[in-house]
């Protein structure tokens, strides 16, 4: 992991860049957040959160509903002020500064286009409010519409546009005056899957072309993984892990992150050695040592794509990173097939394999499942049996495998 990335509690204590690097913090588009807290009545929405956002990066705030990501974005935009803490843009405090006086713009899930104005008039509105000369408005509007491939739609009213086209107009309106930071609050949530995937590509290309800082709020892991330079996984108003997508995916800092970022098979049990845990009759062995003490309650995780299986014979026995069971479900997942295996003790295991891997096997067949030590992650079971799954349940991403081992 690079020294600029943080995990779990470290993300709250340490900035993602050296604290004395004023050049980086003063750059246009650089955002520095220090110990911000926000309450709504008795509800603690954001809890002593610190974060550095680099100028020109695409950073996603990712987490389930109620984790504080939108509240954080609203404080960056100026719609809400923190109860305590500091927010700096390009090295200057913006706490208490009105939204229209900040060099930021916001794109919402609901595009809020003016229905009585055509596309060009919608995009020009902010420039007109700033008393920009008419010739400059025409040039900037044309340029912004060209960037989002909507120049030929300039004379149409929003009601004549598709959802994706309206999204492009909202983007053009937000970037027309070249803000230092563009804030995006689940802007693709109203689009269908195919259009959403297309817009993900277009958004990332637009951000790279403009060199603008994008702060993107989403609960969709695929969006965050595909577009972001870094991802901040949020939980109960704090940052659970801050890192690049590869690190988040391959080295989750906690069971909570592992559960939220991608579907997992979880095993709850006891740590026998620094590399080995026992969950009932299944032993999981990892290729990296745990820092937890022997006898600790732990959670092992294995992603479905890392689970292999084959027909079992009478001589097969359970062993390290192996489980015996029965194939009870098969479903088509496009380029892969998903298999549900019921263990001998009634626990379920999901495997996701290429189309040809399960050829010849049918529901009801006895199978032996296996996985490599490199694919095992061991976590402290300090989330309790339900909290890590609560994040997963938000996006239906996890099958829990409960251990009955004492």
CATH assignment at residue 214: 3.40.50.300
- Cα angle 303, 308, 309 (rounded to 5 degrees) comes to 135
Q: Which of 194, 225, 250 is the last residue of a domain?
A: 250
How far from chain centre, in Å, is Cα 14? 20
Question: Is 243 a member of any domain?
Answer: yes
Q: What is the pLDDT of residues 273-296, one digit of tens each?
A: 999 999 988 999 999 888 888 888
Q: Can you tell me which residue has the tokens 């913090």?
A: 25
Q: What is the pLDDT of residues 343-362, one digit of tens each?
A: 887 889 999 998 777 678 89
Q: What is the pLDDT of residues 191-225, one digit of tens each?
A: 788 888 888 888 999 999 999 999 999 999 989 99
Question: Is 210 a member of any domain?
Answer: yes
Residues for the chain: how many in total? 406
**Which tokens is 166 given?**
């309206």
- Cβ partners under 8 Å of residue 350, min gap 6: 263, 265, 304, 307, 338, 339, 340, 341, 399
Question: Is 1 a member of any domain?
Answer: no
The pLDDT of residue 291: 85
As a whole number of angstroms, the distance between CA 210 and CA 375 comes to 38
Clarify whether residues 40 and 92 are in a common domain: yes
Clarify whether residues 334 and 384 are in a common domain: yes
Contact at 8 Å (CB) between 76 and 214? no
Contact at 8 Å (CB) between 25 and 91? yes
Query: Total structural domains in the chain?
Result: 2
The pLDDT of residue 299: 93
Question: Is 149 a member of any domain?
Answer: yes
Question: Is 324 a member of any domain?
Answer: yes
Buried-state track 169-188, b at ≥16 Cβ within 10 A, e below 16: bbbbbbbbeebbbbbbbbbb
Question: Which contacts qualify for 269-278: CB closer than 8 Å, 24 or more apart?
Answer: 269/297, 269/298, 269/300, 269/403, 269/405, 270/295, 270/296, 270/297, 270/298, 270/405, 271/295, 271/296, 271/297, 271/298, 271/378, 275/373, 275/378, 276/320, 277/378, 278/405
Clarify whether residues 245 and 317 are in a common domain: no
Clarify whether residues 245 and 259 are in a common domain: no
Q: Among candidates 324, 314, 331, which has minimal Cα distance to 368? A: 324
Clarify whether residues 219 and 132 are in a common domain: yes
The pLDDT of residue 402: 38
Q: Can you tell me which residue has the tokens 């420039």?
A: 127
The pLDDT of residue 109: 77
Q: Which parts of the chain register pLDDT below 70? A: 1-23, 314-318, 358, 382-406
The pLDDT of residue 396: 37
Q: Which of 235, 250, 265 is the last residue of a domain?
A: 250
Structural domain span for residue 214: 6-250
Question: Is 73 a member of any domain?
Answer: yes
The pLDDT of residue 329: 94
CB atoms inside a 10 Å sphere around CB 49 = 25
The pLDDT of residue 383: 56
As a whole number of angstroms, the distance between CA 28 and CA 89 comes to 8
Q: Can you tell me which residue has the tokens 């109620």?
A: 66
Clarify whether residues 138 and 24 are in a common domain: yes
**DSSP secondary structure letters along 206-266:** HHHHHT-EEEEEES-HHHHHHH-SEEEEEETTEEEEEE-HHHHHHS-SSHHHHHHHS--EE
CB atoms inside a 10 Å sphere around CB 7 = 20
């Amino acid at each position: 992991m690079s020294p600029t990335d943080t995990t779990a509690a470290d993300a709250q204590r340490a900035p993602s860049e050296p604290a004395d690097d004023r050049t980086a913090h003063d750059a246009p588009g650089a955002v520095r957040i220090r110990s911000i807290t926000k309450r709504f009545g008795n509800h603690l929405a954001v809890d002593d959160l610190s974060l550095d956002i680099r100028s020109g990066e695409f950073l996603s705030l990712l987490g389930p509903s109620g984790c504080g990501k939108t509240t954080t974005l609203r404080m960056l935009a100026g719609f809400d002020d923190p109860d305590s803490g500091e927010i700096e843009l390009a090295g200057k405090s913006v706490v208490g500064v009105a939204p229209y006086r900040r060099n930021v713009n916001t794109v919402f899930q609901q595009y809020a286009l003016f229905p009585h104005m055509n596309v060009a008039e919608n995009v020009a509105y902010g420039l007109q409010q700033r008393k920009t000369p008419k010739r400059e408005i025409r040039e900037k509007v044309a340029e912004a519409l060209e960037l989002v491939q909507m120049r030929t739609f300039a004379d149409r009213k929003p009601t004549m546009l598709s959802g994706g086209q309206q999204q492009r107009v909202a983007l053009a309106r937000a970037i027309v005056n070249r803000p230092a930071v563009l804030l995006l609050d689940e802007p693709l949530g109203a689009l269908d899957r195919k259009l959403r995937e297309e817009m993900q590509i277009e958004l990332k290309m637009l951000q790279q072309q403009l060199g603008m800082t994008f702060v993107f709020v989403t609960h969709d892991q695929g969006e965050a993984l595909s577009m972001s330079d870094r991802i901040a996984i949020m939980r109960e108003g704090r940052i659970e892990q801050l890192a690049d997508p590869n690190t988040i995916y391959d080295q989750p800092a906690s069971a909570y992150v592992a559960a939220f970022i991608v579907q997992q098979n979880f095993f709850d049990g006891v740590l026998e050695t620094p590399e080995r845990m026992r969950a009932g009759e299944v032993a999981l062995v990892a290729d990296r040592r745990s820092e937890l003490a022997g006898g600790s309650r732990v959670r092992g995780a294995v992603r479905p794509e890392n689970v292999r299986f084959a027909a079992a014979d009478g001589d097969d026995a359970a062993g390290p990173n192996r489980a015996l069971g029965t194939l009870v479900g098969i479903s088509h997942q496009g380029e892969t097939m998903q298999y549900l295996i019921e263990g001998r003790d009634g626990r379920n295991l999901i495997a996701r394999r290429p189309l040809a891997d399960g050829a010849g096997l049918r529901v009801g067949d006895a199978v032996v499942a296996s996985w490599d030590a490199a694919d095992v992650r061991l976590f402290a079971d300090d989330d309790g049996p339900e909290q890590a799954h609560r994040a997963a349940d938000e996006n239906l991403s996890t099958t829990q495998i409960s251990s009955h081992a004492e």
